[in-house]
Structure 1
């Protein structure tokens, strides 16, 4: 049985990843601030309350759980990763959940690890808390991990959907497709060399299964980054097709 400590894990992607580990028979403990109710029976999943930016609390949780694997869902700043590298230096495997936003805007598809550049990150961006700096911050976190002498794995999901999604993006698009003949899709920085945006149709459960696999596989750090960037898909056709399938399975008409 593998002892797993998740940083975050009660809300969306983390929730399903915890379920994936539990289905495999592993011993899982969540480390969260307690702002989101824990959706698991306390007899099945442990919980330690604390702030991941409180190094003493993070270290105490690590000592209490003594994990083999750490899954970090809540690393949003380079300083988060620096602290994690110190606290988790003796852990067998550290998995960092990054984002395809770490790749430089305008990069071509398909994105290739080792060839597609990451976003640069200035000192100002490294401590900024706006969405404009989200990609650069994630990119800097990745660079720190790839340069560190630890067994670190990086997963970079794109847009994901599924139950408990706090963004509401799935319901929004389904409603737009159901009620409008034509819809506006993202453009600007989301366009890649003037083509359609890359739209990921992956399910939340798929992302979480891959995250768990990354923790338990023999992936080397040099090839640790996982990215789900498919071929170009027309956003309108994708959302229309998906929404029709969704409505059909739920008994709702478009």
Structure 2
């Protein structure tokens, strides 16, 4: 299979390139070339999509001189996707667009599917979505619709949830293997049975390549099974225990300090991600369905999530060996200040 990947040097797109190469495919990666290297064995085509906007000229003309069995694109900018489609749609047999569950306008209901959850209105132009989740979702909807229109049934739309694992640039899930490996009293958000849903980047990449091979079509949410936050921490602790020098991982759950959302917010502990946060925590009811998607159709289509303990093990090994790996969440001192202020 001749596979064209937009990206190939960072996290998911790089994992896709690695998976495709391991399966014996010819892989070409298109990127600006300033975010790192593509995997060994992949062809690297330098193209800045923000500058090369004429689909009939420059690098686009070179790409259009070949036939491609499949394209996988992870872009978030509608004009970039439209330019690629204008240049290449007639030369591509199957197009996968990696979108996001952020396209959904209402994530308050658990158990939602692509067919039952309303979307945001598509962006009419490229929106600045760097700090606006709704703008990000609207951009992705516009990208999806452009692919669906241009490829006329020869396309796959994939909406991942939270992608985790080695190489994660967000640092969100990474917080928990790191924190659990340190031990002590650990601040965690109630309720214990709050749903959580993640997917290992390597499993998603394998499925994307397999779907391209099969020319799978349709719209799928792509994440792992929903588990309680308590179970997510249990599996994470189990996975990192053999990496903890004193093997304290099996006892970490006895040190968890569960705190209700109102108390956490009163102490300026923030949800989901970023500075001073407890990553993955979503206290607002409007997000009750964000981590409880019905993925039965995706599992039936071949997605095979690995045990979370394996992801935790590999994530901790990666982040402790990479000094530049991003870390999100509360600092140690911030967490200790909150813990010390709580009544026993």
TM-score by length of 2: 0.62
Structure 1, unpaired ranges of 5+: 188-194
Cα deviation digits, residues 22-71 of structure 1 (max 9, x gap): 11111001111011221423xx2111111123133451341355422111
- Corresponding residue of 1:137: 139
2:160 aligns to what? 157
- C-alpha deviation, 1:107, in angstroms: 4.5
Q: Is the CA contact 1:161–1:170 (under 8 Å) kept in the aligned structure 2?
A: yes
Equivalent residue, structure 1, for 2:279: none
- Note the 1:1-254 alignment, pairs <5 A: 2-41=1-40, 44-53=41-50, 54-55=52-53, 56-63=57-64, 66-73=67-74, 75-90=75-90, 91-123=92-124, 126-132=126-132, 133-150=135-152, 151-177=154-180, 178-184=183-189, 196-200=194-198, 202-220=199-217, 224-228=218-222, 232-238=226-232, 240-252=233-245, 253-254=248-249
Does the Cα contact within 8 Å between 2:100 and 2:161 map onto a contact in 1?
yes
Q: Which runs of 4+ in 1 moved over 6 A?
A: none
In structure 2, the gaps of 5 or more residues are: 250-344
Contact persistence 1:9–1:18 (CA under 8 A)? yes
1:209 deviates by 0.9
Q: Could you tell me how far 1:180 is from its partner in structure 2? A: 4.0
Q: 1:215 to 1:57 in 2, by over 3 A?
A: farther
Whether the aligned pair in 2 keeps the contact of 1:97 and 1:155 (CA below 8 Å) is: yes
- Residues 3 and 65, structure 1, Cα contact 8 Å, conserved in 2: no
After superposition, give the CA deviation of every residue in 1:154-203 in whole Å (9 maximum; x if it has no partner): 11111111111111223212234445433137x9xxxxxxx934422x21
Residue pair 1:110, 1:231 contacting (<8 A) in 2 also: no
Q: Per the alignment, in what secondary structure is the counterpart of residue 111 of structure 1?
A: coil
What is the alpha-carbon distance in structure 1 between the residues aligned to residue 121 and residue 196 of structure 2?
A: 22
Shift of 1:13: 0.9
Taking structure 1 as the reference length, what is the TM-score of the superposition? Answer: 0.82
Name the CA distance, whole Å, in 1 between partners of 2:16 and 2:225.
26
Whole-angstrom CA distance in 1 between matches of 2:29 and 2:227? 36
Q: Deviations over 1:69-113 (max 9, x none)?
A: 11112x112222222221121111111111111122334232222
Distance change in 2, residues 1:229/1:105 (3 Å): farther
Aligned length: 236
Partner of 1:192: none
RMSD (CA atoms): 2.5
